[in-house]
Amino acid sequence: MVEDQVVLADSVARALRHEGMAVDVAYDGAAALQRTAVLDYDVVVLDRDLPGVHGDQVCRTLVARESPSRVLMLTASGTVAERVEGLGLGADDYLPKPFAYAELVARIRAVGRRSQPATPPVLAHVDLRLDPARRIATRAGAQLALGPKEFAVLEHLLTAQGRVVSAEELLDRVWDEAADPFTTTVKATMNRLRAKLGDPPLIVTVARAGYRI
């Protein structure tokens, strides 16, 4: 999330985290370029009217780097000409301010899907079903009461299709900059998720490597 209005940026970040997303926040264009040089984000929500390094330049730089991150551009101007110009810079979507959080979340999910290999709309394994769009997970037909992080961990494991996923990868993809890499956050979340999934167990721990479905 790149937004120079601190209150708005932090408010949006809280809302997105509530939806199970991992969110890093940059309050100016220079910070955004530093972060995106280190990490490949699924989506960069980019305010266009940034002081210092303008949002347009941030977008151009991401395109020039051939960054895999998708760009959802925000601006106070919602004219057709402005939207066309923003998309012409390389943005994948464009949302004028003010916006509804529900629409922002929906657009981030839609744009984010383009940054990942194609996956089925409903992820499944044995009797487990997970619908990312509707945020519903069921096992043997019974709905599971998963918290946002539990849901996100399960979605990531299912998307990996049997590949071993390390705790470090889960911290990077499911949590965010606020997560302490030396805590037992991943292990504790995994224990809760396993308990809610029930028997027979579906998640395997691979010694010194991580977890897999």
Residue 165 DSSP class = B
pLDDT digits (tens, 9 = 90+) for 91-108: 899 898 889 999 999 999
**By C-alpha distance, which of 209, 149, 206 is closest to 175?**
149
Whether the pLDDT of residue 178 is over 70: the answer is: no
* Domains of the chain, residue spans: 6-114, 123-212
Q: What is the pLDDT at residue 122?
A: 87
Closest CA to 3 of 18, 17, 19, 24: 24
Alpha-carbon span 13 to 179, nearest angstrom: 14
**CB neighbour burial string for 59-70, b if at least 16 within 10 angstroms, e if fewer:** bebbeeeebebb
CB 56 within 8 A of CB 68: no
Q: How confident is the model at residue 89 (pLDDT cuts 50, 70, 90)?
A: confident
> Which pLDDT tens digit goes with each residue over 114-148?
766 556 678 999 999 999 878 899 999 999 999 98
Fold of the 6-114 domain: Rossmann fold (3.40.50)
List pLDDT tens digits, range 11-39: 999 999 888 888 999 999 999 999 999 88
Residue 154 has pLDDT above 80, yes or no: yes
Class of domain 123-212: mainly alpha
Name the average pLDDT for the chain. 88
Q: What amino acid occupies position 91?
A: A
